[in-house]
Chains A and B, each alone.
Chain A
């Protein structure tokens, strides 16, 4: 094994002369990823699916330098909305995809509750606003959102490891305090699943139209304000 890697190393070094190649290390990591995949198969196929999709998400986040924090920060700081537009595009695709899964699972029957029971549907109220403001300010200050610090940990940013542990601490303290917030705010708040009010086909079309509108709004804002496009 190590011999094969050494050979590979020499081969690769010839191809990237300027900087020492890290491809062999990358290969070792791929082997590790495959090994963990095999191990996770023994827990359940469910776990192995989470693993493999996680690897793909990690590669995608790193390759495309996808950063949710920047998508909210850049329109304010430099007037650029190219990331925000990409996220809106992803939301449109996800909406259509989730609805397709909903219909394929219900098999044409009336019971449309796959997204409602398994998806991210939660109470909405003042607590959402407080949490989101804390989150939004925190991610800009820390220089990375939840997906961002995971990705940057992989890239070797020591600071993001600090952010990770601080995040974990904050989340655990929040979990501990949850009883208080639940009694004061959350338990009185409704869970609003939009298709309960408008039929799913209309909710889907409506949501896609709103997202498209936001996309073009962001596009217009970028052309007007971006310091990059001037």
Chain B
């Protein structure tokens, strides 16, 4: 029971988390030849939904020119393994929080909070398409890939976070 509490009840240190996340990213690259990314899978879900409602996102310039290693042209958007990875992260977090008996539905507190969540989410999502990646694909996997864009992304993400913090202090807190 002591071991159970240590693993599933007590929080881990950031350092433990960092070492494990790096290890899993290395493991993913070693076994599948792909690195950890998040947005890639989310775009595929979005494109799949658009396809279902009758649009043709697969004909978009982005998918015809930059599809290359994401998914093969013949495959459907749902074949993208990054979708599975994202769902697994949600389920993994759920398992972890349940084993600690700490799961609780946390409601949205106000309309203001909802508005900022929508705004922030759209800004993040749109930003990822310009900068080739989110905090994972454009930073956590990009810097170890020796791509300069990872460093530039990190620096300007810091600038953005500073701007965001000012907005947060001014309007939300």
Query: Which A residues form the contact surface with B (CB < 8 A)?
Result: 15-16, 19-23, 25-26, 29-30, 32-33, 36, 40, 43, 46-47, 49-66, 68-69, 72-73, 76-77, 82-83, 85-87, 89-91, 93-95, 97-98, 100-101, 114-124, 127-143, 145-147, 149-160, 162-179, 181-182, 186, 191-195, 203, 207
Contact = CB atoms under 8 A, between A and B. Distances in A.
A156 to B, nearest CB: 5
A48 to B, nearest CB: 9
B12 A63 contact: yes
B121 A162 contact: yes
B164 A119 contact: no
A93 B122 CA distance: 32
B167 to A, nearest CB: 6
Nearest to A76: B165
Contacts of B121: 138, 142, 149, 162-167, 169-170
Interface residues of B, number: 129
A47 B84 contact: yes
Given A61-B17, A131-B128, A139-B120, A154 B164 contact: no
Contact of A69 (B137, B138, B161): B161
A95 B143 contact: yes
Nearest to B82: A50
B89 A151 contact: yes
B1 to A, nearest CB: 7
A64 B122 CA distance: 27
A178 B155 CA distance: 23
B89 A73 contact: no
Contacts of B107: 158
Contacts of A49: 28, 31-32
Interface string B27-48: 1111111111111001101110
A154 B93 contact: yes
17 contacts: A22-B98, A36-B91, A50-B32, A53-B24, A58-B92, A64-B11, A85-B14, A120-B145, A123-B149, A124-B148, A127-B130, A131-B128, A132-B127, A135-B160, A138-B120, A138-B127, A155-B106
A71 to B, nearest CB: 9
Contact of B17 (A25, A86, A169, A179): A86
A171 B126 contact: yes
Contacts of A33: 88, 91-92, 95
B148 A194 contact: yes
A90 B140 contact: yes
Contacts of A133: 127, 156-157, 159-160, 163
